[in-house]
Amino acid sequence: MNRAGLYIHFPFCRRACFYCHFFKKKFKPDPAGECLRHIELEMGLRRDPGLAVDTVYIGGGSPSLLNPGQVSGLLECAAKSFSVDGKSEITMEANPEDLEATPLRELRAAGVNRLSIGAQSFQQRDLRYLRRTHDAARAIQAVDLARNAGFKNVSIDLIIGLPTQTARSMESNFRVIAALKPSHVSVYILEGVPRPEADARDARLYHQARRALAGLGFVHYEVSNFARPGRASRHNLKYWRMAPYVGLGPSAAGFLDGRDYRNVSDLRRYSEVLVRGRLPEARTRQLNADRRRIVTGLRLLKGIPASAFSPFPDETSFLLREGFLARRGRNIAVPEEKILLLNEILGYFI
């Protein structure tokens, strides 16, 4: 059976980063606590003890602002609402400046077994450009603290395409990655921020990152994601393989019974609707299953079975002929060197 994932969106941050497009609000303890109670209310409304869940992902926002007791409360509520496997992958996103030794041990004891640390870069110039509150030393220390607290599965987020980045500063980043030995690295291109010569710089740095991470033994398995063998994010793979997932919290998306939904991106409306006993869903545009399979699956470097393309013979043969798609055994995939053109390629199937 295709087991489900659970995504919980905690929409609070100490301050809003200028480049971030996620739904978030400034952290204050009272509204954050109230939001948690409403997320648990939503869990109750979506309760389905027959739904087998084997991944939980607490994202945001900055869930590392939660204390371990609050995280434990969310996980206990999840266990009462769904059939959560004892061997689930349970990931929490964390900002380096929030990580301390004791709470990390408590988080591990609460069941969190994977940390995704938003280092973004290990270069001071980059972190200053991004106006992050942590410095490079704190980012390195965060990974060490996580390891010492018993986290074997640690992912590091990097942002590339910054005007401050050069091939040489990227090399320094990968030297740090080589020393830290995370199990997973996500590489995101800075988006929605005007930058000189962005496209050429992004492509150069992205392909440099691909080569460097391959040299360190990481498998490039999704546009932005690289993992040591066996350490791909089990939760995120569900998104790209059309497995079901429950999304909880303001702005969270879910996919259940073949239907996409998204919760309202409005804290007050989210709470008001839930308190009245209704689900806080916004209207969403639905892609039909054939298109959705391609749009999500082509993000994976190994592609998807060629049979998925049979409803689109003209588009597929054009893209194959022009080299924007390629056969990989029984699959069709976007060739690695064309992966930055993914959005244009997907445009043929939307």
**Rounded distance between C-alpha atoms, residue 300 and residue 303, angstroms:** 5
Q: Which is nearer to ligand SF4, 16 or 279 (CB)?
A: 16
Q: Specify which residues 266 forms β-bridges with.
A: none
List contacts with ligand SF4 (CB under 6 A): 13, 16-17, 20, 22, 24, 60-62, 95, 118
To the nearest whole angstrom, how small is the minimum distance from the Cβ of residue 331 to ligand SF4? Answer: 34
If the CB atoms of residues 65 and 319 are measured against ligand SF4, the closer one turns out to be 65
Which residue is closest to ligand SF4 by CB? Answer: 20
Residues 115, 121, 122, 127: is their CA dihedral positive or negative? negative
- Please identify, using beta-carbon distances, which residue of 60 and 244 lies nearer to ligand SF4: 60
322 CB-contact burial (10 Å; exposed 0-12 / middle 13-18 / buried 19+): exposed
In the structure encoding, which two tokens stand for residue 183, read together?
């199990």
The token pair that represents 289 in the structure block = 């299953």
CB of 125 to ligand SF4, least distance (A): 18
Least distance CB 59 / ligand SF4 (angstroms): 8
Q: Encode burial over 88-107: b for 16+ CB neighbours within 10 A, e otherwise.
A: bbbbbbbbbbbbeeebbbbb
| 118 vs 297, beta carbon nearer ligand SF4 | 118
Between 17 and 326, CB nearer to ligand SF4: 17
- Calculate the alpha carbon distances from 187 to 63, 71, 86 in Å: 20, 26, 30
In the bound complex, what is the minimum distance in angstroms from residue 117's beta carbon to ligand SF4?
11
Q: Which long-range contacts (CB under 8 A, 24 or more apart) does 195-199 make?
A: 195/161, 195/162, 195/163, 196/163, 198/161
Smaller CB distance to ligand SF4: residue 17 or 341? 17
CB of 15 to ligand SF4, least distance (A): 7
Place of tokens 């199937």: 349
Q: How far is the CB of 185 from ligand SF4 (least distance, A)?
A: 17
